[in-house]
Structure 1
């Protein structure tokens, strides 16, 4: 950010000094942000005010706002006779005049102001005796287009939003994505297409979690900078938070974009861009946010519409809606025959591997990879975002891969590309410099080239895989249930507490009869029954009934690998305590893997068949997909030699002894 823009944002934020005492620190933004928008619009509208009054008087019909906007060349106007200059000139009427001014805006602009809940702030400021002072302060800020262009105003908004999030102790990441992260993301998203757009082309971009619009603005700027003159860029967004939505929409309106393209609502339950497709999409959705509030709508779409809806691939666990955002975006990809779509989304590590074979997450990964949509995953440094220090990843998807990239996925490890910030901002202690953004972007382009011929190109930060490399077949390994029968103090205690044994009148006598057999074991159940029956008879106790008999066997049966194999209808019973699982690579035959990796260690094992709950059919394996990014880039670091550690310990002991000697001298 240029210094002048940061200074201007700091100057505007000084209004907080007026609010201190009457407003909590967390509430400063509720005044400063909408007043900034109003002052900016006031400056933009200044040259057209007289023309607006003329046209407003000339047209005597409802719904004339759009026509007036067309004639003045702006997306908004104000039909009142007020301005910040006139409002600030009448201290006694400041509340009345400001309310008249706000009510005079065209419908699109007024809808934005309403989302700020601005009328409530007018009353509160007036009651506190602050309204006139705040109006006077903002009337003096130089926010005209001649003084601050749209690009610079975007930076000012960005800095004010960050200050608001910091002051309110909110999760800043819900409102604000670091500028360098956006720049890198846009670079990678657009990299294969630079220079391919011709004058007259219309490029559509969507951000379904647009926040204050930072990603959309950066994408637009990048396309315009890298494309030929005459390329038209249209931006679209949807946002759930009303304040963020209001800022994004007002920003887009002042940049002469259609504000109607920015919509308010939940993208999962109320898709405001239904039926539309886009050239590019990008998003930084909140990490680990549950979707319980829209659970009914999402599940209904999943179950009723299946793959003709957005969520046919599967549903993630309720506490993380990341994959819902991705499926929502995939549903808006333009068919490859019509030019296709590229999209980028920011995830934490969870979507890479959460969920085993058959789970919602695994099925979503499977659906994406089997359709060859995943192009690249880029690992970013940790401590890069304001609200979390965890590691994050770019997922880049495309349905128009280069033919040489078909069936392949590139993993790019950019975790070491960072510089320490001079001053931490929340959890953000690292940043990616301009030089590092250039390096990563260059490496990304080389990595895509490498996907065509990975065997003749090697880089420690890049690896190329076939889609199937991330798939596996999960098999269940069973071993036979073996038992021996042994009487111990523990089993007798369990027998005495067994519910089925409690009704047996001579239970305590039977336990006494068993005590001489403590430590005795038998290899078969028949031998055990005979010996126990004899012991009971010798003790003068009748053998118990069926219920108590069952309790005895449950109490004295001890699993043992050397015992008798238990069977049912001639087939060995599996021992649930010995059950295990193996993930067999998708490219391998499961029987060959089983013979090589399992049987040499447990010769009596077998691959179990389990019933598929959806089909009711028996199956020997489940297909799963995961992307173990860290494992693929793990570099083993051997431990220090014991002799070195021992020498260091002795040196430390010597230093301690020396210090103790000085203390007692």
Structure 2
């Protein structure tokens, strides 16, 4: 946690819980209490005005809610005369008073605490004799945005979730994305729209289908305001984890966002924002997670709705649902005639190449490339995420490509752009510096072929260069005497029967004629071969690493021999010393 005071405070609360709670359960108490105190601090200055306004409006027989929202200066309010500090004045009735205080929040806030299942924890703390002590701890710390900024608070929540997930052996990093990676992605989706985004009064929408605690939405909002203080970004999202969902809603509430735009549930099986389309989108879906639990719903949508639904291009294997999120985001793009969309999504390596021609993965790649939707794919360094050290890739996808990008795909190898962290966080050992982010952003913006010290960094390809035909090469079946066996009936009547044991496939680049390739590559080695054209399929793959491979010639043999001789001589000397 960046703030040492906050960090020590949080763990002083954990000390109180030790014994009555398992370490893995600390988050069930600390996270909702942190949110409660944050909201309590935000409303503190307008508390008296809200209570006075309520009395006036109720006396006049009016619904006080819209007036109270105006007086609070927020999208929420609390009508209780109590606050967390006043709760300390009645130790014997702390539980009843705390429940009453929470019940006096406006409905949007009450729903947040229901997502935390906070009432259960209040009961449990009460029975353990800890409720007053824990409430007193939180009442004593100031979490007002003037003291702890929204950005700091977001980082605190993410750090808490990571810590508690580690203690309970959960996947610690699945709920959020490192902030510097988000900043890079935000730079990339906004970079080509600078002129439009600096216009006075501009309004744009940003969506994250895997919102976590709202980190991507928050950084997106901060970035747009830094470009244009008069701009407004309406934020939308959906989140599956109840605690992350509650924190995201609380954060959006304090930022003045409409929290009805944040949905709970599984984005893939139950789209919480059906029919909505957005200007910008960001997502870091879980890497390599199977979708077996929701397979029935996904297949039903794919079969019944086809391209009118989200999964028309195809379905990936059940063991990895990454590409389902890619297709979900594509379905949420604002139509090009209405201004179009751009989004960034973090994926692992398998969506680039898994699955041969005709497979679900290949068909999805074929759809996005043939429809010219992918602007760039950026390879990030390993060890960038909290829960995995694998290679990851940011895809930038748009249905409003600028003219110089049309028909093309840019690949950027940013795997060498990193600095070592002072202290590792889970699997995260590397980070992007601000200079690295600027450098990658510039490479993307320039959209040119770039090499450094003879090593390619940025390359530009035609979309068709990633496509190929998979052809099936047949060889004739022969009898014991080596004579070709001819078919007796059907379409093979009088023609050579294929020998399935000799059957083979070849991948032919889309840029080359199949017959030309066949004559050059196959017939010289198998003059009796032919192509079964009925089995020909179109495939697409993006062999990212191959395009950045630089051949290093082996060292001279004499140099290797000399090195081996030196090692051998040292070993013999050591053995000689032992024998004395």
TM range (shorter): over 0.9
**Is the CA contact 2:471–2:505 (under 8 Å) kept in the aligned structure 1?**
yes
Q: How many angstroms apart in 1 are the aligned matches of 2:455 and 2:311?
A: 37
Deviations 1:149-202 (A, max 9, x none): 333322332333333333333212211211111111111111111242211111
C-alpha contact 2:46 2:72 (8 A) present in aligned 1? yes
Aligned ranges 1:143-162 → 2 under 5 Å: 143-162=143-162
1:479 offset after TM fit, Å? Answer: 1.0
Cα contact 1:343–1:397 (8 A) shared by 2: yes
CA drift of 1:459 comes to 7.8
Query: 607, 617, 633: which one pairs with 2:548?
Result: 633
- How far has the Cα of 1:112 moved from its partner? 0.4
Which digits, 9 at most, give the CA deviation of each residue in 1:511-538, with x for residues without a partner? xxxxxxxxxxxx3xxxxxxxxxxxxxxx
Write the distance in 1 (CA, Å) between the matches of 2:62 and 2:499. Answer: 79
The answer to whether the Cα contact below 8 Å between 1:173 and 1:286 also exists between their aligned partners in 2 is no
Distance change (3 Å), C-alpha of 1:265 and 1:596: same
SS state of the match for residue 172, structure 1? coil
- Confirm or deny: 8 A CA contact 2:386 2:425 kept in the other structure: yes
1:481-496 equivalent positions in 2, closer than 5 A: 481-484=477-480
Q: How does 1:390-401 map to 2 (within 5 A)?
A: 390-401=390-401
Residue in structure 2 matching 1:475, options 471, 476, 496: 471
SS of residue in 1 equivalent to 2:320: coil
> What is residue 504 of structure 2 aligned with on the other side?
580
Q: 2:285, 2:110 → 1: CA distance?
A: 28
Is 1:478–1:580's contact at 8 Å kept on the other side of the alignment?
yes
In the other structure, the counterpart of 1:216 is: 217
Change (3 A) 1:642 1:577: farther
Secondary structure of the equivalent of 2:196? coil
2 CA distance for matches of 1:429 and 1:143?
A: 30
| Residue number in structure 2 paired with 1:647 | 562
- Contact 1:377/1:395 (8 A) holds in 2: yes
Give the 5 Å matches for 1:538-557. Answer: none
Task: Work out the CA distance in 1 between the residues paired with 2:507 and 2:80.
Answer: 70
Residue 172 of structure 2 is matched in structure 1 by: 172
Please tell me the root mean square deviation across aligned C-alpha atoms, in Å.
2.1
Which of 517, 523, 529 aligns to 1:593? It is: 517
1:364 matched to 2:364: yes
Distance in 1 (alpha carbons) for counterparts of 2:273 and 2:63:
24
| Contact in 2 for aligned 1:409/1:467 (Cα 8 Å) | yes
2:530 to 606, 613, 629: 606
Pairing 1:568–2:566 present = no
Q: Rate the CA distance shift 1:154–1:646 in 2: closer, same or farther, 3 A.
A: same
Structure 2 CA distance for aligned equivalents of residues 258 and 620 of structure 1: 53
Alignment of 1:34-73 (within 5 A): 34-57=32-55, 58-59=57-58, 65=65, 68-73=68-73
155-164 or 187-196: which moved more?
155-164
- Does the aligned pair in 2 maintain the 1:410–1:462 contact within 8 Å? yes
Which piece of structure 1 moves more, 472-481 or 268-277? Answer: 268-277
Of stretches 576-585 and 649-658 in structure 1, the one that deviates more from structure 2 is 649-658
Q: Report the Cα offset of residue 333 of structure 1.
A: 0.8
Residue 497 of structure 1 corresponds to none
Displacement of 1:236 in angstroms is 0.6
Displacement after TM superposition at 1:147 (Å): 1.9
Aligned-residue offset at 1:416: 0.5
How much does 1:441 deviate? 1.2
User: Hey, what's the Cα distance between the residues in 2 that align with 1:338 and 1:248?
Assistant: 29
2:264 and 2:58 map into 1 onto residues whose CA distance is 31
C-alpha separation in 1, matches of 2:68 and 2:147: 26
How far apart are the structure 2 equivalents of 1:286 and 1:590?
Answer: 39
Tell me by how many angstroms 1:337 deviates: 1.6
Aligned to 1:15, the other structure's residue is in SS state helix
Unaligned runs of 5+ in 1: 485-522, 524-562, 610-618
Using the alignment, how far apart are the partners of 2:555 and 2:189 within structure 1? 43
1:6 Cα deviation after fit: 5.2
Q: Which residue number corresponds to residue 388 of structure 1?
A: 388
Whether the aligned pair in 2 keeps the contact of 1:378 and 1:414 (CA below 8 Å) is: yes
TM-superposed CA distance for 1:55, in Å, is 4.1
Counterpart CA distance in 2 for 1:598 and 1:145 is 70
Query: Cα deviation per residue 1:340-383 (whole Å; 9 max; x = unaligned)?
Result: 10011000001101111111111111111111111100000011
Gap change, CA 1:62 and 1:581, over 3 Å in 2: farther
Q: Deviations over 1:621-661 (max 9, x none)?
A: 10111111111111122333333333333322222222222
Q: Does structure 1 conserve the Cα–Cα contact (< 8 Å) formed by 2:467 and 2:509?
A: yes
SS in 1 for 2:507: strand
Say whether 1:660 aligns with 2:579. no
TM-superposed deviation, 1:409? 0.7
Q: 2:276–2:332: 8 Å Cα contact kept in structure 1?
A: yes
Q: CA deviation at 1:664?
A: 2.4
Q: Deviations over 1:257-293 (max 9, x none)?
A: 1111111011122211111111100100001112222
Could you tell me how far 1:63 is from its partner in structure 2?
A: 7.9
Give the 5 Å matches for 1:435-514.
Answer: 435-447=435-447, 450=448, 460-484=456-480
SS of structure 2 residue aligned to 1:110: helix
**Contact between 1:203 and 1:232, CA under 8 Å: does it hold in 2?**
yes
Q: How far apart, CA to CA, are the structure 2 residues paired with 1:661 and 1:587?
A: 65
Partners of 1:374 and 1:409 within 8 A in 2: yes
Q: Distance in 1 between matches of 2:138 and 2:529?
A: 78
What residue is the counterpart of 1:189 in the other structure? 189
Q: Say whether the 8 Å CA contact 1:195–1:226 is kept in structure 2.
A: no
- Rg bigger for which structure? 1
Match of 1:623 among 538, 544, 551: 538
Cα offsets for 1:240-267 (capped at 9, x unmatched):
1111000000011111111111110111
The DSSP-based 3-state class of the residue aligned with 2:456 is coil
Aligned to 2:491: none
Q: Which of 26, 29, 41 is the equivalent residue of 1:28? A: 26
Offset, 1:109:
0.2
Contact 1:165-1:175 at 8 Å conserved across structures:
no
Partner Cα separation in structure 1 for residue 327 and residue 51 of structure 2? 48
**Superposition deviation, residue 66 in structure 1:** 5.2
Unaligned runs of 5+ in 2: 489-493
Q: Quick one: distance in 1 between partners of 2:563 and 2:358?
A: 51
